[in-house]
Structure 1
């Protein structure tokens, strides 16, 4: 496994589950956290979006796990040659002799306290999605897909029956709070271990506070990686030009900031 991909895999494994047991009526899948061998084969497209790349990691790691057997993955369910949905993974727990339908979700969310509903406050850094939208999609579209008539033939070919499958989600997330925001964890909901950094508005990224540090803006595929793996650091003046370019295009960049030899911060600069 090449070095950059191995760093991404480690980032995937280090990302905590967004909740511990159950949220919005959706149970969390307990992903085995064994470190992979660097020789583990992982098939992925160099152009794959972050979510698809994480699916590749999930599949490769479970193939090398002693706990689970993969029965099927990325199953396209069609109706009259039109795709109506996709089932991420069908698994079997070796120890429990239990079959699972598992959806994989890997997200980066920032917290906007201006929303009324708590789960709606966790939104994508470009405001294109929210945790609440994703949970509703899982509950109302992705999980019910297992019980559609069109899915029955796929399951029959695998000698599976929908009524025997437990449905869970492996939902990993990195969360970013407004800087200096005092977040109070709601009982039985979000896993506070997922808080990975903070976010600021573009006008807050000023030289007075930040010019003494070094920065790197990773591409989205590198977002899960620990900042210590950055190969090149830039001055505030140089990164400010990059940030301004993102903001002009209404994109919210993720920055890694190096404060000391082994001290790092991660934060988004939002355009809105």
Structure 2
């Protein structure tokens, strides 16, 4: 759901951009009743007439230091996804799809020639690191993508967090800045929501309001 919302925002942005023309989006490749994949976007740069195939990625990852290599440490907050897995799928499936024979008929409908198309990946990520790592710099990612921290459930204590206000947004609203929120709950109220999510093995993304000017985002994970 997050990815689809991001795609719609991307399409709106391109349609308002004077430098690019939107040619096609969400182009599915179906062969013998089997869906082989989908192209996110085809764009044309107006100045050069260069056509681009753009794959858009929008992800939330937490850093699990238990893995040996830094890039392996970036995983989904529910441990069902990972940065490495996504990169592998892009390299081995999504980008090569442009040159598969089964894609040719669909591309011809839009007068798209794979040999003259450049491929790009727009990878947007919201990264959350362990609270004790908040002052650490990471070598292999864009550190500007770090937007918050994460903690285990036993670290979310009333002694440390009881004086603040919270809100746990639905997943479709995860990208929103917490400053925009108007409804806030106390520690006990939000703890009940966390427990409900944990019963379904879902991490809780929390917006925390410390005062009228100070807001933070963090995950409380169930694992």
TM-score, with length taken from structure 1: 0.80
Give a deviation string over 1:141-179, Cα, whole Å, max 9, x none.
000000011111122221221011111111101000000
The residue correspondences of 1:117-196 to structure 2 (distance < 5 A) are 117-181=69-133, 182-186=135-139, 189-196=140-147
The residue correspondences of 1:1-272 to structure 2 (distance < 5 A) are 49-181=1-133, 182-186=135-139, 189-272=140-223
- Cα root mean square deviation, aligned: 1.0
Q: Distance in 1 between matches of 2:49 and 2:136?
A: 40
Partners of 2:137 and 2:143 within 8 A in 1: no
- Could you list the structure 1 runs, at least 4 aligned residues long, displaced by more than 6 angstroms after superposition: none
Could you tell me which runs of 5 or more consecutive residues in structure 2 were left unpaired when the two chains were aligned.
none
Q: Distance in 1 between matches of 2:111 and 2:172?
A: 36
Q: 1:27 corresponds to which residue?
A: none
CA-CA distance at 1:96 after TM superposition = 2.9
Give a deviation string over 1:179-228, Cα, whole Å, max 9, x none.
02143321xx3110000000000111000000000000001111000001
Q: Distance in 2 between matches of 1:136 and 1:117?
A: 16
Q: Distance in 2 between matches of 1:95 and 1:118?
A: 39
Q: Distance in 2 between matches of 1:53 and 1:191?
A: 23
- Structure number with the higher strand fraction is 2
Matched length: 222
Greater relative contact order (Cα < 8 A, sep 6+) = 1
Moved more, 149-158 or 82-91: 149-158
Give a deviation string over 1:107-144, Cα, whole Å, max 9, x none.
00000011122211100000001000000000000000
Q: Distance in 2 between matches of 1:147 and 1:141?
A: 11
